[in-house]
Structure 1
C-alpha cells in the first residue's frame, strides 16, 4: 500500500460565533479561502490535477447545504473538472475527510486529493434550523440520541468522578496555553481572512466598504482566572458540575489539507509535511458520547503499530473538560503531550471543521518541534469516537 503525503495544511483563524469576526461570512467563502490558500502552498501543483475535494461539515444545510464541497471548490477557482463531496460524521467530519482522501491515495485510486472542513455556527446552529428527529427515538429510554451534549458531559463527569474543581483547572489551563501560543507565534498554519463589510455613513447615508483582517483565534481569554471560573453557575444540570466555561466554544472556521501520492511528490519535487498513518472510529453509548476516544485511540494504535507512548503530540478535542479528563485518565495519556497549545475550550470548536483545523495545527507543530508522531482524536455526538495518527515527514 502506498503512502499518502500531506504537502499543505492550513486553516482560518477560529472566530467566536454570533459576535466574532466571521459573523457575516458564509461558510462556503471560508472554505474557498482555505482551499485557495492550501493550494497556494504548492504552486507547482496544477489545481486541475486534484481528483476530489472532500469536505467535512456537521450541519450541511442552508448556507452550508447544496454540497458545500463542490460550491467551495468552484468559489476557490478550481476548474469545473474537479469534483467535490460533503461528508458528515459530526465533530469528526474534518478528520474523516483526511482519512478518506488518504485512503484513495494509499489504494492507488488517486494521486492528488484535498481534504477540508468548514462550519459556521453563527449561520447554521447546532442541530440545524429544523430539528426533525425520528419520534421512535423517544420510545426507548435507553436511546439517548436525543440528549443535549451538555447532559452527556454531566453523565461522564459523574461516572468518571471528574470534579468541578478539576474541570475549572483544566479550562483555565486551556486558555493559558492558547494565550502563550498566540503570543509566541505558534499558530503558523493560520491564513488570515479579510472581511469586507458594507457600512452606511451615518451623515450621508452613502455605503462604504470597510475591510477588516481576521488573523488570530478569538476565543482565548486573558482576563479569566480559576476564581472567576469557580463562580460560574452550571448550565445543563442545576446540581451538576459543567459550566459554559468548561465547555467548548461555539465557533466559525475552516481548514484544508492537500494530499499527494509518492509518485506526484517525486515528480514535482514537493516537500512533504507529514504522512497519514491511520484512522479509526468506534461506537459508545450515546448518553456518554464524550468517552468515544477511549475506544478509538487503542484501536488506531493497534492498527498502526504505534503505541500511545510513542506519540509526541496529542490533539484531543475539548468538547468538555469533563470528557477530556475522563479520556486522559482512562487511556493514561501524558498531560504534557495533550493540547500543548490549548484546546477547544479556549480556541473554539467549529464542529465539522475541527478535524481539519486540529490536523493543520498538529502537523505544523510537529514540524516546528521536530517531533515524530501526532494524533488527532475527538468524541462524536450520538456516541462515537475517532482518532487519526500522523507522522512528520
Structure 2
C-alpha cells in the first residue's frame, strides 16, 4: 500500500486540484549537473516539433473506423504542414507501432501521400509499448552519429482495427521454461501479478486512478492540451439501429473533426470502488476498467535535428534529447520496469531524481504506478500532472511519442527544464528518456 505520507500528500493534492493554481517560473538555483545539460552545443540532437492527435476510445470512438495507415497519414501530413521544414530535407522517417501487419509498407505509402518526396526513406520498428520512444531514439542516434541532419519519428496505433494478437510459441525449450512462457501473458494478468505479489491494495490503485482521471479531466476542460493536439478529419460509421451498435449493415458514414481526447471519465472513489474486476479469473482481481489504461487509438510525431541545422533554418528548439535507457525485468512483473529504467536513465544523464521537473510515466495499470511511486519515491506534484494513460488511454505504439508531446508542452508552459518519460513494455521490459529545454523566463497559460 502507498505510504501514509504519500496518501496524505495525495489528499492535499486532490483538494488543490479543485482550485486554480499558478505555476511560478523555474527556480533560479539548479544543480551543476542540470546547468551542464543546459549548455547548448551545435551537435546537440534537438526537437523542434512534437504533436499528437486526440486519444479516442478504441472500438467506440471517432477513430474506430480509421485504418492504421489512415491514422499514420494524418499524423505525417500534420507534421509536414507544421514543421516549417521543406519535406525534401527530411532524411529519414522512423515509425513505431505494435500490431499493424504491414508497418513498413503502410509507413512508406503514407509518407509519400503526406507530401514527403520518394527519396525520403522510412523504417518501422516495434518494441511494443515503447515503440514511439524507440522511433525517437532511432532518429536521435542517426543524427548523433552524423548519418543524417533531420529525421521524423512517429508513434501510432489503431487498437480498434489491429487488436493485440495472442502470442503463440511452439519450441519445446520455450514451452518448458515458465519465464519464457510468461512473455505471452496478457498484460492485465501481469497487473494482477504485481498487485498480488507486492501486496498492493485495490484502494491504493483506485486512489491513484482517481488522481489521474481528475487531473486529465481538468486539464482538458481548461484547454491545457490544445497546443499539442492536431485536428484530424475522418469518417465514422454510424449504425442505423442505435440499439445494436455492432450491426453496421447499411451504416451511415459521418464526417467528424477529432480535436479532444475522448476517453476522459470524471470519477469518484465511490464510483471506482464499485467497478468489477476486469480479470475475474483472479478471484479478488484488483485491476478494473477504472484503474487500467483503456483500449485507445492515436498517433504522435516528433521532429528531430542537429541544433546547428535548427538554427540555420530559424526554428524554435523545444528541447534536447539527452539519453534513453532500456532494461528488462521478469515478464510476470512487466509493470514494475520503470522502477529500473528510471534510475538507469538518470545515471546515464548524470542527474538526480530531484533534478527532474516533470515525469511522464505511462499508466498501463494503477498497480504498477503504485509500485513505482513507492519504490522510487516519485513526487506526485511532478508526476503526470495532467493525468496519464489511465485517463487518456494507451495506444501502444503511440505512447512513447505522445508522452514527449504532452511533457514538452507542459514544460514550456511552466518554463521548466527537465522532462523524464518512462513506460513498462510488454513481455517484461522498460524504457526511460531524458529531455532538457532552456528556460526563457516566461510562463505561458499559467492558470489551470
Pick the TM interval, shorter chain. Answer: over 0.9
Contact 2:179 2:331 in 1 (8 A): no
1:220 matched residue in structure 2: 264
Structure 2: gaps (5+ residues)? 1-40, 242-249, 439-448
Equivalent position to 1:31, from 72, 87, 90: 72
Deviations 1:20-67 (A, max 9, x none): 000111111211221221232232x21011111000001131xx5353
What does residue 192 of structure 1 align with? 231
Bigger mean CA offset, 235-244 vs 356-365? 235-244
Q: Tell me the C-alpha RMSD between the 2 structures.
A: 2.1
* 1:132 and 2:146 matched: no
Matches of 1:208 and 1:170, distance apart in 2? 40
Indicate which of 99, 106, 109 corresponds to 2:147.
109
Is the contact between residue 60 and residue 67 of structure 1 (CA under 8 Å) also seen in structure 2?
Answer: no
> 1:295 Cα shift?
1.2
Distance in 2, matches of 1:341 and 1:15, equals 17
Q: Secondary structure at the match of 2:286?
A: coil
Q: How does 1:150-161 map onto structure 2 within 5 Å?
A: 150-161=188-199
The correspondence of residues 323-362 of structure 1 with structure 2, limited to 5 A, is: 323-362=368-407
Quote the offset at 1:197 in angstroms: 4.9
Deviation, structure 1 residue 209: 6.3
Are 1:238 and 2:283 an aligned pair?
A: yes
Within the alignment, does 1:306 sit opposite 2:351 as a pair? yes
CA shift digits 1:340-392 (9 cap, x unpaired): 01111110000011111111111111111111000110000111000011112
Give the distance between the partners of 2:198 and 2:251, measured in 1 at CA.
Answer: 56
Secondary structure, counterpart of 1:54 in structure 2: strand
Structure 1: give runs of 5+ residues left out of the alignment: none
Q: 1:389 aligns with which of 424, 429, 434?
A: 434
**For 1:90 and 1:26, how far apart are their aligned partners in 2?**
19
Distance 1:201 1:180, change over 3 A: closer
Task: Compute the TM-score of the two structures, normalised by the length of structure 1.
Answer: 0.93
List aligned pairs for 1:246-261, cutoff 5 A. 246-261=291-306
**Are the counterparts in 2 of residues 373 and 390 from structure 1 also a CA contact under 8 Å?**
yes
Q: Tell me whether 1:272 sits opposite 2:317 in the alignment.
A: yes
2:91 maps to 51
Mapped partners of 1:96, 1:196: distance in 2: 30
Q: Is the 8 A contact 1:111 1:263 kept in 2?
A: no
3-state SS of 2:337 partner: helix
Aligned residue for 2:334?
289
Residues 14-93 of structure 1 aligned to structure 2 (within 5 Å): 14-43=55-84, 45-61=85-101, 65-93=103-131
Q: CA deviation at 1:72?
A: 2.3
Shift of 1:158: 2.1
In the alignment of these two chains, the number of paired residues is 385
The answer to whether the Cα contact below 8 Å between 2:190 and 2:334 also exists between their aligned partners in 1 is yes
Q: CA deviation at 1:157?
A: 1.1
Bigger shift: residues 321-330 or 71-80:
71-80
Q: CA deviation at 1:127?
A: 2.2
Counterpart CA distance in 1 for 2:400 and 2:106 is 17
Distance in 2 separating the partners of 1:88 and 1:199: 33
Comparing 149-158 with 85-94, greater Cα deviation is found at 149-158
2:55/2:263 contact within 8 Å kept: yes
